[in-house]
Amino acid sequence: MHTSKNSTSLLDYQGIYPCPVCRLGKIKSLSLMEAFGCDCGKNIFTADLEKQLLKMPTMQPPLTWYWNGKCWQRGQLEGREWKWYHWLLVVGFVMLPTALVALSAYIFPATPGSNLSWLPTIWVGLAFLLHLGIVGWLIIEFYQFPFWTYLRVSWRLLLDR
Ligand SMILES: [Zn+2]
């Protein structure tokens, strides 16, 4: 066991810290283990006190956070940084199919007044929403944002109030 460094701003096994994953629970060291657990009950972390790092080993690759004395900073993950050109891919992925569908609806318009004249509009909207949904899901996966844990813990806190 590490000894307390006599300051509450350092990461040590005596302290209680906000959970970097759900951001709502608190993490504290598990008894007899050099590990932290969140009181949301789900997340277990290992710590590197020398580097003031917290690691979530159940994620692959492991997620890390750096304790700066006040809050957690997301550690750098190899190949997992969001680059500016990713936005180009996102916009392209959503806009290109939508534009193609819109273009074909424009070139081959439905007969006005026919039963299916509303179809191209719905089709364009669906293409947009579908691709937006796919991109949103990919972004959640990219950041490994624990969406369901977050929802569950917020809901529980709401009920406890
Ligand atoms: Zn948590």
- The contacts of residue 122 (CB under 8 Å, 6+ apart) are none
Q: Ligand 1 centre and the CA of 131: distance in Å?
A: 31
Q: Ligand 1 centre and the CA of 27: distance in Å?
A: 7
Q: Ligand 1 centre and the CA of 115: distance in Å?
A: 53
41 token code pair: 């009950």
Please report, as a single letter, which amino acid is at residue 133.
G
Q: Ligand 1 centre and the CA of 151: distance in Å?
A: 11
pLDDT tens-place string over residues 114-148: 777 778 888 899 999 999 998 888 877 766 666 66
Domain ranges of the chain: 16-74, 84-149
pLDDT tens-place string over residues 5-35: 444 578 999 889 999 888 888 999 988 788 9
Residue 60 pLDDT: 66
What is this structure's pTM?
0.45
Query: End-to-end alpha-carbon separation of the chain, Å?
Result: 36
Query: For the chain, what is the mean pLDDT?
Result: 80
